Amino acid sequence: MAVRIYHNSRCSKSRGTLELLQARGIEPEVVNYLDTPPSAEELRTLLRLLGMTPRQLLRTGEAEYKELGLADPAVGDEAIVQAMVEHPRLIERPIVVADGKAALGRPPEAVLAILP
C-alpha cells in the first residue's frame, strides 16, 4: 500500500503521525510540503479526498493568514487555494493519503481510519 504524508518536521502532530505510521510498519513517502508545496490542482485533490473546504484546511494562527486578509468571508475558495500554494505554512498538517483516501492527522490517530 502506497502511503504519502505531507509533513512538517517542526510540527509535533506531524512527527507523531509519522511515528504512528512507522510503528505500524508503514514507511510512507514523506513530502516536506514547506520545501515542495503542492500545486493548486494537487491541493484541490487533497481537499476533495479530505471532504474539506479550503477555508477548513487553513491555519488561522499564521502571520500570512492575517497579512493576506483571509479571515474576510468574501475571500473565495480559489483565492484561498492560491494563498496556500504561495504560502504553504497556511496548510493544516499533517495530511496522510492512502488508497485514494486522505485524513488530517489531528490527532495523529485520526489517520488510522484510512489504513487497512
pLDDT of residue 116: 80
Q: What is the pLDDT of residues 94-115, one digit of tens each?
A: 999 999 999 999 999 999 999 9
Is residue 96 among the annotated active site residues?
no
Strand ranges in the chain using DSSP code E only, listed in sequence order: 3-7, 29-32, 95-98, 101-104
- Give yes or no for residue 15 having a pLDDT over 90: yes
pLDDT of residue 1: 78
The SS3 of residue 73 is coil
Q: What homologous superfamily does CATH list for 1-33+93-116?
A: Glutaredoxin (3.40.30.10)
pTM greater than 0.85 (yes/no): yes
Contact 15, 109 (CB under 8 A): no
Selecting among 4, 11, 13, 40, the annotated active-site residue is 11
Rounded to an integer, the average pLDDT of 36-44 is 97
Do 1-33+93-116 and 38-92 fold alike per CATH? yes
Domain 38-92 has CATH 3.30.930.10: no
32: number of Cβ within 10 Å: 14
Domain ranges of the chain: 1-33+93-116, 38-92
Q: What band does 52 get if pLDDT is binned at 50, 70 and 90?
A: very high
